């Protein structure tokens, strides 16, 4: 499978050298990327965005011309063994989408994010599904063969009930448990309200532990969704902790002695529900035999 992700203008991620006027939004341009998926690896060739038109090149510094030619000729290639992938994240906010991966390389956690236009979301969703299936196959994990358990999503808002089966779950993936976190607001001086945490759902399936949520905005409704996928063979421990007086779900994923932690905060009123789901095995998982509990 071969995909291309042309350079994108993305707000909040400045990746180029340069300047911006005072008050201007921090728009950045992502690299041009080509992704090649094989049976065992994901290859990503990246090259920085450079001017293409003669007018742009003529206005550039003369000494920059040779650098442009060198950049175009020598893309940087990243090789990701699929069996070393820890987790994936797929996000969409209006016309901006991305796929982010974390993997273990020489005892360290490496990350890369590929930005692309939402028009190509289905193609990159297929890529992410192939990567997840390859990880499960390498670990000997097979899906149930039937998409059961969708009734466990009935308590979620309509947006989550619609998006999760179509864009978050793999085909034939079974939902074993779901927990929803509504959006949380803080009030200041009795009249000002600030959005603290957006809506979010934690899912436990027969193949993954998933966190699907909206991005933080100044209003209640959001036009995007961000989903993180933790393959069960990578999940080492899921525990319920208290942090700053609020319950927090701590998800530890690891491979080859390297560990990464994902934290999901909930409101105080959800403690009983969290403990109930943990007791049923719906979301929380005990520490596997032989694996030490994370510090």
How confident is the model over 135-168, as pLDDT tens digits? 888 888 777 666 678 888 888 888 888 888 888 8
More confident residue, 148 or 33: 33
With bands split at pLDDT 50, 70 and 90, how would you rate the model's confidence at 173? Answer: confident
The structure tokens listed for 190 are: 């009795």
**pLDDT in the model for residue 80:** 92
Same domain, 110 and 196: yes
- The mean pLDDT of 262-279, rounded to a whole number, is 63
- Write phi, then psi, for 166 (nearest 5 degrees): -90, -30
Specify the pLDDT at position 64.
53
* pLDDT over 90 at 29, yes or no: no
One domain for residues 207 and 100:
yes
Residue 73 confidence (pLDDT) above 50: yes
- The pLDDT value recorded for residue 181 is 81
Report the number of distinct structural domains present in the chain.
2
- Residue 256 belongs to a domain: no
Count other Cβ atoms within 10 Å, centred on residue 109. 16
Q: Give me the mean pLDDT over the 203-221 stretch.
A: 78
Q: Residue 130's pLDDT band (boundaries 50, 70, 90)? A: very high
Q: Pick from 231, 261, 290: which residue ends a domain? A: 231
CA distances from 118 to 50, 158, 164 (A): 23, 22, 17
- Tell me the residue range of the domain where 142 lies: 86-231
- The residue among 83, 116, 135 that closes a domain is 83
Q: Do 112 and 72 belong together in one domain?
A: no
**115 vs 70: which has the higher pLDDT:** 115
Residue 45 pairs in a beta bridge with 34, 77
pLDDT score for 22: 41
Cβ–Cβ < 8 Å for 135, 85? yes
Are 111 and 76 part of one and the same domain?
A: no
Do 125 and 209 lie in one domain? The reply is yes
**Based on the domain organization, do 103 and 201 belong to the same domain?**
yes
The whole-model pTM stands at: 0.75
pLDDT of residue 72: 59
* 42 and 99 within one domain: no
Residue 202's CB is within 10 A of a number of other CB atoms, namely 25
User: Could you say which of 172, 202, 231 is where a domain stops?
Assistant: 231
């Amino acid at each position: 499978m071969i995909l291309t992700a042309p350079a994108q203008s993305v707000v909040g991620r400045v990746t180029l050298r340069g300047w911006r006027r005072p008050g201007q939004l921090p728009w950045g341009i992502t690299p041009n990327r080509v992704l090649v998926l094989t049976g065992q690896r994901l290859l990503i060739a990246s090259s920085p965005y450079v001017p293409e038109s003669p007018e742009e090149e003529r206005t550039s510094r003369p000494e920059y011309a040779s650098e442009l030619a060198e950049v175009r000729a020598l893309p940087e290639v990243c090789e990701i063994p699929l069996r070393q992938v820890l987790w994936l994240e797929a996000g969409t906010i209006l016309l901006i989408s991305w796929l982010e991966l974390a993997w273990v390389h020489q005892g360290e956690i490496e990350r890369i994010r590929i930005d692309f236009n939402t028009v190509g979301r289905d193609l990159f969703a297929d890529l992410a599904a192939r990567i997840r299936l390859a990880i499960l196959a390498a670990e000997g994990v097979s899906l149930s063969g039937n998409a059961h358990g969708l009734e466990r999503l009935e308590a979620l808002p309509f947006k989550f009930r619609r998006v999760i089966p179509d864009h978050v779950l793999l085909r034939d993936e079974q939902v074993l448990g779901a927990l929803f976190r509504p959006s949380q607001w803080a009030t200041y001086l009795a009249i000002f309200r600030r959005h603290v945490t957006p809506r979010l759902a934690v899912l436990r399936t027969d193949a993954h532990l998933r966190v699907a949520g909206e991005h933080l905005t100044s209003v209640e409704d959001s036009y995007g969704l961000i989903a993180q996928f933790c393959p069960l063979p990578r999940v080492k421990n899921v525990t319920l902790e208290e942090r700053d007086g609020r319950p927090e779900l701590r998800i530890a994923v690891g491979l080859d002695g390297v560990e990464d932690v994902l934290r999901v905060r909930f409101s105080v009123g959800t403690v009983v529900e969290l403990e109930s789901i943990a007791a049923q095995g719906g979301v929380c998982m005990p520490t596997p035999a032989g694996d030490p509990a994370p510090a």
